[in-house]
Structure 1
Amino acid sequence: MGFNPPVPQRDSNWEIRVAVLLSLAFQVVLIFAGPLRKRSSSSLVRFVIWSCYLLADWVADLALGLLLNNMGNIGGNGGSTGDMAVTSTAAALKHVLHGGTDTSGSFGGTGGGGGSPIIFAFWAPFLLLHLGGPDTITAYSLADNELWLRHLIGLLFELSAAAVVFLCSLQQGNPMVVPTVLMFIAGIIKYGERTYSLYTGSTDRFTASILGKPQYVQRIDRLMQAYNSSLRAGFKVKMITFGESGTLHDMYRREGVLLSQSGQYDGADEVRAHKLMAHFRPLFGNGVISTKNRRVSEAFFLEHGGRDPMEAFHILELELNYTYETFYTKMPVLSTRAGYVLRFVGCGCVVSSLVIFRAHDKAGLLPVDAAVTYALLIAAVALEAAALVMLLFSDWTLVFIHQYSRFKWLSWLISSVKKAKLCRRRRRTWSGTVWQMNLIDQSIPMRMPDGRRGLVLTPLVNAATSFTDMIRRHRHGRPLGYTKKDQEEYHQELLTFIFDRIRDTVTKATTPEEWKMACLDRVKRVLLGTAGFESTTILWSVSRCDFDESLLLWHIATDLCLNAAYDRATEPLQETRKMMTVSRVLSDYMLYLLVSKPEMMSATMGIGAQAQLLYRNTCAEARLLFQSSASQYGSCDVIDNHQSACSFVQDNVERTKAIIFNACMLAKELMGSIAGPEAMWRVVAHVWWEMLMFNASRTPAREHLRQLSNGGELITFVWLLMAHMGMSSSLFEVHETSLDKLIIIDQ
């Protein structure tokens, strides 16, 4: 009985060559494109990384399968596709990878017998190296970490397959035994690092790590035994309980201030951020934070970040960078003593393989196979060198070497290179884009040249461009600001406003209960505490409406008030202009979250489908309202003539909930308040801040963690800063373990 190979031998050889090179190409893309996902929210970037992440493993498995399949794919002379009898296993193994060539220790006879060149056996461990993946991305999503056991089984299978190919090549006199073994070592290390990184990022392992060792629990029986013994001996004793006392409180605050005043040594911010991350790691696993860590963090941000809000957000950015790399990269595994040793061993094995192959006799080796082998070796050396440089100049290395005083010179070198921008990492975790979405823009895609909202209806021009722009904004919104200068200005004003509000809330609140009420109460206390804003409509819009309905009401009302302010000839005061900017940015950002990130608002909106339906109906209502009016409308005209929509609203009140009608009434009452425009915009900005804080405190921690791999979100920074300041519902159930001690007071 003969064996008919399904694919001609020569075609199979080229399939292997192409698959190996394609696997290498995916590794090159991933190692440099992997970090972009934490700094970019572009859908194109995410799609490229996602495609390469999935295809990299598939192509490497395919190439290894082709090598393994070639054990039985024995071609005829001259590469013909005729039958060839295989009468025994020994006869099959005799033709493995090299159709009946000599065993003299050279590569000769690679093309004449129709079999695969024996150099293919040297390529098998490279596929293990590729399956290990780059250091910059081990998991594309959090769900990938849960599949660590599958990767472990895959490691055993792929290693077995590559070993079978290598062992079979030994029977043909494989001359590349030593470099192949070295590459096996490097591949096993690389694949093992990836599997262990996935394991450490899994839910079970992370939960176990944040629980730590069992806390010391004092044994009551020993305490009572000591108490009775002291009484029998004639001593007078008293019991003192050490818990959260005023002394401990002051000590924790001193520790936080000491952390902020630890000097401007090289890598100080990285070390501070890592300490804060270590203290607040349980936050991402729905765990509890100790009172000590909360006090230290609160004191740190009040004393250090309070002087410069931008510096405080820089610390948060570093902290979130550590968190991102904990779940999505190999950095936590590599930045250990064993990790550094294994990385240098792997690099040494790859370099040694290149040197040995360069000095080896290549007689009879096909030029194309020599070129592919050199490409694999040189690329492996280059990728290992790039990964080593990234590791040495990472924030994790600064934290690691900070433990050893004799390596201060290395800390200075790394910090100097970063300051010289040789690493060119403009932003570590946050994309820097506060995405904006405006309901009226979505309904009527027009924008005035001076930046006002699109309330002017003109004939459609360039329909293709308008349609493309509409689709883009509907799916992703638009970035904050139109120029880089605008973005930087808006960022600074917005972040300063957010930090000041959190700091003021914490400073005024003296107990955890007051902090909790600051999170629970949305905006009612802001309105009640401001004269001129006690109207029924205003209070109803923030206290009795559902969160999604209230958000849409205030979004449209803010938009109408902004357009009315633009219509005025008078220039607003500087402080009023800042409040207007904050109101506009937060209003459009919250709508963007409602439409594009409903999973981050599920806890406040309830059923997400209802909120999406309410948004769509409101857009349709706005479109009908403005299009049924005159060809041109000013904002003041829309508000003054809102009664023109009464008949439309009354006919559809159950379907639309009259969002547009109530928003016009709300805007009219806001602008008609006796407090004046300065007080009005201060209240509007605080209303949006309260909404952002209210939603941030209720977004599940896993959603915040998931968004770190999509460019990050402003709401995640707000949530983490609130947690550091003690304004998080997960911190109010924290308790300190009290210790009782017996003190002898008299003999």
Structure 2
Amino acid sequence: MATWISIEGHRRLVEIIPNEVQELWDKWEIRGLILVSLVSQLILIVLGNRRRYKPNICTRALVWSTYLLADWVAAVAMGAISSNLGEYYENNHKKFSKYYINPQLLAFWAPFFLMHLGGPDTITAYALEDNELWLRHLVGLLSQTALTLYIIIMSWKGNWLSHLTIAMLIVGIIKYAERTWSLYCGSIQHLRDSFLRTIDTSKKIEQQQESNNDGMNFWEFLANSIQKDFENEERRAGDPRNYLRAIYIFVSLFADMVLSPWDITQDRKELHDRGCFHWSTYFTLVNNELKLMYDVFYTKAFANYGIQGLISRLVTLITTIVVLASYCKLSENKEHQVVDQIITYLLLVGALLAELSSFFFAVFSRWTRHYFRLRGSATFCCILGCIIDCFFTKSRVHISMGQSSFFTIICNKSLIIKGNFFPVNKLEKLSSVSHRLTSEHVLQKVYRSLYDKSERSLQSNLSGVPGYRSLLLEKNKPIFASEVEFHRTIITWHIVTDLCYHFYDEPSYHFDPRKNSKEMSDYMFFLLVKQRQMLPVGAGLITLRDTVIEAKRVFEDINVVTQEDNLGEACRKLLERSTTIPRNEDLRMQSTSILLHACDITNELIADAGEYRLPMWDFVEELWVQIISYAGAQCRVDMHAHQLRRGPEFLSHVWLLQAHLGLLDQFQIIPH
């Protein structure tokens, strides 16, 4: 039937949708929604787990759009099936002669949308806030299940296809319930409540040794295992129980809990007693913790681990296999249209592939391995451990660092400044960003610095004088410590590092501290421009804008066109010119630029270094280590959790390592 619209007071009627298009829509409405929903699930299965490995912007955009589309399509398709069935029986089958779909087949398709609403195991929440909406998903589970039951009852015939529909309904309810449960378990409130119960449980471990452990949750098992683990003198850094203890410490941070003095002392003592291990061991530990916490917040980790998870996976997998085999055997070729048969087989095969991948990753996950270790199944854990270590464990930790630079903004041809005006929001677009693997020298330097700080003082107070401030004050030069605000310090010493780096214009491999300083400096500048939410609150972009404007003006005065291949010459001319520019206090009050101040510090460093530049680079390197450590400690915990969906930042690794060494404010408790 054509659709018409009245224009100019019924004077003229224009046909908007032709009859052919209307009929085509009626024929492919449900079928098209099914195909879109199925493709969405396949994309989420393949790419949903890629977010933990620094995905590019295209992957993130595709996952985000597919994540939103998947729920919408499934809900709309359920409503379309219900509406079509109602019209089918109301019109006594006549209206649907051209694009007829068997009502029983429609009912058989409905449970698959419940499965799609449950989503794959690789992604349950796109952002951390989705976990807090678990109650909305619980309402959706109840309403969509009721709608599916209504569809099944409307088309019930009592034959083999109706019974297969009931089997798939069970699978759909399990999948959707698992997602709802995982969202609930990943919420901060649930984690906090679980740890409060765990703390109470750990205080009564002696009374519970004779009780049945089946009633305990995972964290209670973990607390019990940790207590017993420290009674064993043969433990080692790579032992799974120590690995689980690290997870226990980490989850407590995200739940915003302050651990007891016993927890703090034992965790720090474990690292110090095993200090003979290679530094990479501890970064491997921290990296694995971040991956597991990604699972907690963004996947079906809580639904997968343990006996319940394996039983659930077996039930859904076996049921899907039985339904697929039964449908292949009992279905007749001429019973349904060819296109409907193809769609049905696509749904069944897609469901089977999803269940196989879910079962495979659930069985061979670290969660399952450590869960059974807590249960005392040593043989099973040994087999799982060998398989996981052989096929899933990488020999080297890959930690990515974003890189950006002040002079890349200056060299950008799109930088156009009119007078003293330049929009702050354009700084993000002008700053070109690259990513690189953190060098082993940087990791080693950061670990050694934090380890020594923890060893020197068991009660290092980062909330007092930050380490980078103490280091600057020790130089006994007022010009070094004149910048107090943290963002201004980052910009100042980033420009200083870049000026020194390009001033000497020598190969990086001659001085490892020089290369390390440049790497860490560019990383902190990247955070300032692109990831400001991970730094303390400050007016860094305002300062950066005024500094860019002044730098552009100075380079124009000395007739230097800044390009990537002449930065060495440009930096030398800038340092020479800065000594002749008068320091006008009136202009200084109107601008927050720190360019001339950074040039003064650079000239001071170069003058003190003379021909022996290695001590200068050692100082700059240690300064950046202290700046990164302070930034990691001051970053809000929820920002570290939010960042996990974009790939864990190097700053999160540093923060977590400080947590295990007892260098965070959250751990500043003096044991009695």
The TM-score, its normalising length taken from structure 2, stands at 0.84
Shift of 1:684: 1.1
Shift of 1:113: 8.4
Shift of 1:115: 6.0
Which consecutive residues of structure 1, in runs of 5 or more, have no partner in the other structure? 75-90, 101-109, 219-250, 263-267, 447-456, 458-469, 481-486, 737-747
Equivalences for residues 143-542 of structure 1 within 5 A: 143-170=129-156, 175-212=160-197, 215=200, 255=230, 258=233, 260-261=235-236, 268=238, 270-304=240-274, 306-362=276-332, 363-404=334-375, 406=377, 408=379, 410-421=380-391, 423=392, 432-445=399-412, 474=430, 477-480=433-436, 487=437, 490-509=438-457, 511-512=458-459, 515-517=460-462, 520-529=465-474, 533-541=475-483
- Letter aligned with residue 664 of structure 2: S
Matched-pair contact (CA < 8 Å) for 2:182–2:299 = yes
Equivalences for residues 604-643 of structure 1 within 5 A: 605=538, 610-631=539-560, 633-643=569-579
**Offset from partner CA, 1:652-674 (integer Å, 9 cap, x none):** 42233341100000001111126
Matched-pair contact (CA < 8 Å) for 2:33–2:73 = yes
Equivalences for residues 529-678 of structure 1 within 5 A: 529=474, 533-541=475-483, 545-566=484-505, 577-603=511-537, 605=538, 610-631=539-560, 633-646=569-582, 652-673=587-608, 676-678=612-614
The worse-fitting range, judged by mean Cα deviation, of 393-402 and 723-732 is 393-402
Report the counterpart of residue 730 of structure 1 in structure 2. Answer: 666
Q: Matches of 1:43 and 1:355 in 2, distance apart?
A: 41
Q: Matches of 2:100 and 2:468 in 1, distance apart?
A: 79
Work out which of the two has the higher radius of gyration on C-alpha atoms and give 1 or 2.
Answer: 1
C-alpha change, 1:357 and 1:115, in structure 2 (3 Å) is closer
1:700 aligns to 2:667 (yes or no): no
1:59 aligns to 2:69 (yes or no): no
Shift of 1:563: 1.3
- Letter aligned with residue 14 of structure 1: W
**Offset from partner CA, 1:695-714 (integer Å, 9 cap, x none):** 21111111111111111111
C-alpha change, 1:270 and 1:623, in structure 2 (3 Å) is farther
Matched-pair contact (CA < 8 Å) for 1:257–1:304 = no
Report the counterpart of residue 24 of structure 1 in structure 2. Answer: 38
Matched-pair contact (CA < 8 Å) for 2:544–2:593 = no
Q: Matches of 2:582 and 2:614 in 1, distance apart?
A: 31
Q: Matches of 2:439 and 2:401 in 1, distance apart?
A: 8
Shift of 1:528: 4.6
- Letter aligned with residue 255 of structure 1: F
Q: Matches of 1:628 and 1:670 in 2, distance apart?
A: 25
Matched-pair contact (CA < 8 Å) for 2:546–2:593 = no
Q: Matches of 1:360 and 1:17 in 2, distance apart?
A: 22
Shift of 1:146: 0.8
Structure 2 SS opposite 1:539? coil
Shift of 1:260: 4.9
Q: Matches of 2:236 and 2:441 in 1, distance apart?
A: 26
Work out which of the residue numbers 677, 688, 691 in structure 1 matches 2:624: 688
Q: Matches of 1:497 and 1:258 in 2, distance apart?
A: 30
The worse-fitting range, judged by mean Cα deviation, of 129-138 and 201-210 is 201-210
C-alpha change, 1:424 and 1:317, in structure 2 (3 Å) is closer
Q: Matches of 1:275 and 1:380 in 2, distance apart?
A: 37
Structure 2 SS opposite 1:712? coil
Shift of 1:343: 1.6
The TM-score, its normalising length taken from structure 1, stands at 0.76
Shift of 1:116: 5.0
Matched-pair contact (CA < 8 Å) for 2:49–2:122 = yes
Report the counterpart of residue 450 of structure 1 in structure 2. Answer: none
**Offset from partner CA, 1:244-276 (integer Å, 9 cap, x none):** xxxxxxx999939947527xxxxx555532221
C-alpha change, 1:125 and 1:426, in structure 2 (3 Å) is farther
Matched-pair contact (CA < 8 Å) for 1:37–1:710 = yes
Shift of 1:433: 1.7
Matched-pair contact (CA < 8 Å) for 1:10–1:114 = no
- Letter aligned with residue 198 of structure 1: L
Matched-pair contact (CA < 8 Å) for 2:404–2:522 = yes
C-alpha change, 1:524 and 1:377, in structure 2 (3 Å) is closer
**Offset from partner CA, 1:266-299 (integer Å, 9 cap, x none):** xx55553222111332111221112222222212
Q: Matches of 1:9 and 1:709 in 2, distance apart?
A: 43
Matched-pair contact (CA < 8 Å) for 2:188–2:254 = no
Equivalences for residues 13-92 of structure 1 within 5 A: 13-74=27-88, 92=90
C-alpha change, 1:595 and 1:149, in structure 2 (3 Å) is same
- Letter aligned with residue 187 of structure 1: G
Q: Matches of 1:305 and 1:23 in 2, distance apart?
A: 52
Matched-pair contact (CA < 8 Å) for 1:9–1:116 = no
Structure 2 SS opposite 1:70? helix
Structure 1 SS opposite 2:533? helix
- Letter aligned with residue 197 of structure 2: G
Shift of 1:434: 0.4
- Letter aligned with residue 516 of structure 1: N
Shift of 1:522: 3.4
C-alpha change, 1:528 and 1:252, in structure 2 (3 Å) is farther
C-alpha change, 1:261 and 1:114, in structure 2 (3 Å) is closer
Q: Matches of 2:623 and 2:399 in 1, distance apart?
A: 24
Matched-pair contact (CA < 8 Å) for 1:137–1:330 = yes
Shift of 1:678: 2.0
Structure 2 SS opposite 1:434? strand
Q: Matches of 2:581 and 2:22 in 1, distance apart?
A: 75
Shift of 1:41: 4.0
Q: Matches of 1:436 and 1:494 in 2, distance apart?
A: 14
Report the counterpart of residue 211 of structure 2 in structure 1. Answer: none
C-alpha change, 1:256 and 1:677, in structure 2 (3 Å) is farther
Q: Matches of 2:516 and 2:265 in 1, distance apart?
A: 30
Q: Matches of 2:616 and 2:549 in 1, distance apart?
A: 29
- Letter aligned with residue 313 of structure 1: F
Structure 1 SS opposite 2:66? helix
Report the counterpart of residue 106 of structure 1 in structure 2. Answer: none
Matched-pair contact (CA < 8 Å) for 2:498–2:518 = yes
C-alpha change, 1:379 and 1:572, in structure 2 (3 Å) is closer
Which consecutive residues of structure 2, in runs of 5 or more, have no partner in the other structure? 5-16, 204-225, 416-425, 561-565
